[in-house]
A and B are shown apart, each in its own frame.
Chain A
Amino acid sequence: MAGAITVQGLTKSFGTFRAVDDVSFEARAGEITALLGPSGSGKSTVLRMIAGLELPDSGSIWVGDEEHTDKTPQERRLGFVFQHYALFRHMNVRQNVEFGLKVRKTPKPDARTRVDELLELVGLAPFGDRYPDQLSGGQRQRVALARALAPRPDVLLLDEPFGALDAHVRQELRRWLDGLHRELGVTSLLVTHDQEEALELASAVVVMRRGRVEQAAAPVDIYNQPTTPFVAGFVGASNLLKGTVRSGELLFGSTAVADASDLADGTDAQAYIRPHDVLLTVAPGNRSFPVKVERRTNLGWQSKLQLRLADGQAIFAELPNDELNGIDEGHDVNARLRNAKVFSADAGEPPAGPTEGSTSQDTLHTSDEDEVLAGRAGLN
């Protein structure tokens, strides 16, 4: 039943705006794959094309070994969960969940059993007679999920499903969805701009930007081995430092601080460093450079430190308090970088720079437009 989702060379323009540009990836069967990117990156448009709510200009969409590219949404048998729930407001919870069974002419007793089963599954069994406006946001989204799952779809598409919810409800629902997925194992594609959500829920992440795929990999690789400056800057908190390359080393001033063996001599370089990868020592050491602690915020078990380099650049460090050894505001200490990701400065910088190796992208404008247009262009 569960099939992989494969998209090949998907392209879509709205007027002169190219919302999705030659996007290819695979979402493995039975797993949650996240489409991660800032608003305007085209991720929702990709999802809507997979659902058939938008038709691609070119490219193909497959679920399992079945081509879906030109099918209507009705023929695709997919579950779709909208950011704003899109529950039928004149129907109660039961009727909402039953809708997909009813229009597909499921026999009444079967439909009733299935609805009971799903209400139980999403923990809303006592709320069957309520109307959507009598439910909280989290409850509504669970109804939407039950509704999408009722006709036993081949794949589940989730468009920013927690985007409209409070932070703590979002957390709770995220854990709940994780558990639900473990139970059901339906192939899922989750669109989100929240990198934490993507890393927590998905077993594979496709990072998108300006209609293109920046990197597709396992969450841990996205986090630890970003292949573009954009991914390095977008996924997880990062410091951005500028330096130059000499003899395969990244230099701040005249101090070598990190390996840059794949960059040519004299290249202006940019380095991305996670705050917990900035190590501080009182004494100088190999590849260390002097910094001044400008500010220290104690967060209990760890501290956040604002550091100033000799050349004026600032970075943040997050270190456990028991590793600080008395380092505090005003101290002059030495910093060392662990796992610095070094890119050529030409490779662009997040979030506004162009994609690595692609200058044609410069003509595009990033905005919320694609989401807006996507919403408008639906019914023709």
Chain B
Amino acid sequence: MSATETRQPPASTQDAGQRRTSRRRLGPGVLLALALAYVLVLLLGPLAGIIYYAFKSGFGVIGQTFAQPDVQHAFLLTFIIMAITVIVNTIFGVLVALVLARDRFPGKRLVSALVDLPLAVSPVIVGLMAVLLFGRGGWFEPFFAARGIQIIFAVPSMVLVTIFISIPFVIREVVPVLQELGLEEEQAAWTLGASKAQTFFRVTLPNIRWGLLYGIALSAARAIGEVGAVLIVSGAIQGQTETATLFILRAFDQFQDQQGYIVAVTLALFSILLLIGIEIFKRKRIREAR
């Protein structure tokens, strides 16, 4: 809309000058060194450690590890859960974001605050809530038990808690993009004869795509890494309800550190790929929200 106006120089040159001098007083290298040390020690250190231990006794272990049916199953399960979570949270996330960004209704603030709840509640508590609802004696247990559907200690509950935990990401990324976008482009599309569906897919969706992809990537990363809630609802049954993260836990319990490390490195690798995606999407989204 106002592309040129928003690209402004710093508020005032005097302001910028002050910032420069105060930084100079500290010494330009000190802050940089601190920041780098922080990142290296806290983030890259552990990563390097895992990689070192994973490959300490040669690369042969990798093949052995991945040859195990348990490991294969764990990865498969992790990705199934992630895929379902991402699909569900994308569809419903966009719906909720549209409602939150566009509609006015009583209780909107409450709904908006509730969306953030999964970020505030410990995943372990989320798992417990699921057990209370779907476990023996839970409110919904008779309904599903009567139909022979196993929820707790089975994949459905694992998907459920993972979805719950990653609800906020798509919504939180898409709402501001929608608000910034406004309604006029969509209304222009209507006056040009585009149906609501055509307008959504040709105008709204392309306009929010990077924000949406950013939210999806964050959701996926969260889904892959989830342990606490999944641990509680799944029962961590080897070869059945054991995800990649749960496999790592068990591997350490049973002193199979090397296998644990290898699975961990693999997961970390996926996370790094997602992280790169996230960075790209974030940058494009910033350009989008110009």
Taking beta carbons and an 8 Å cutoff, which residues of A are in contact with B?
51-53, 72-74, 76-80, 82, 84-90, 99-100, 103-104, 133, 144, 147-148, 150-151, 375-376, 378-380
Contacts and interface: CB of A to CB of B under 8 A. Distances in A.
B19 interface: no
B193 A74 contact: yes
Contacts, number: 78
B193 A379 contact: no
A74 B203 CA distance: 15
A103 B192 contact: yes
Most-contacted residue by chain A among B1, B193, B203, B206 (CB, 10 A): B193
Interface of B: 1, 3, 102-104, 182-195, 198, 202-203, 206-207, 290
Contacts of B203: 88
Classify the secondary structure of A's interface with B. loop
Interface core residue of B1, B102, B104, B206 (most chain A CB under 10 Å): B1
Contact of B192 (A72, A85, A147): A147
A53 B190 contact: yes
A379 B194 contact: no
Given A86-B185, A379-B186, A148 B102 contact: no
B200 to A, nearest CB: 11
A104 B183 CA distance: 21
Contacts of A53: 187, 190-191
Contact of A74 (B1, B183, B195, B290): B195
A379 B187 CA distance: 8
A97 B290 CA distance: 22
Given A53-B190, A89-B207, A99-B194, 7 more contacts: A76-B191, A77-B193, A87-B188, A90-B207, A103-B192, A147-B188, A378-B187
B104 to A, nearest CB: 7
Contacts of B193: 74, 77, 100, 103-104, 151
B207 A99 contact: no
B103 A73 contact: no
Closest 6 CB pairs between A and B?
A100-B192, A86-B184, A73-B190, A80-B191, A86-B188, A103-B194
A78 B191 contact: yes
Contacts of A87: 185, 188
A15 to B, nearest CB: 11
A378 B189 CA distance: 13
Contacts of A72: 190
Contacts of B102: 379
Contacts of B206: 90
Nearest to B185: A86
Contacts of A73: 187, 190-191
Contacts of B189: 88, 99, 103
Contact of B104 (A89, A104, A376): A376
A89 B206 CA distance: 9
A83 to B, nearest CB: 9
B187 A151 contact: no
Contacts of B183: 375, 378-379
Given A103-B202, A133-B290, A379-B102, A82 B194 contact: no
A88 B191 CA distance: 13
A93 to B, nearest CB: 14
Contacts of A148: 191-192
B287 to A, nearest CB: 10
A213 B218 CA distance: 54
Nearest to A131: B3
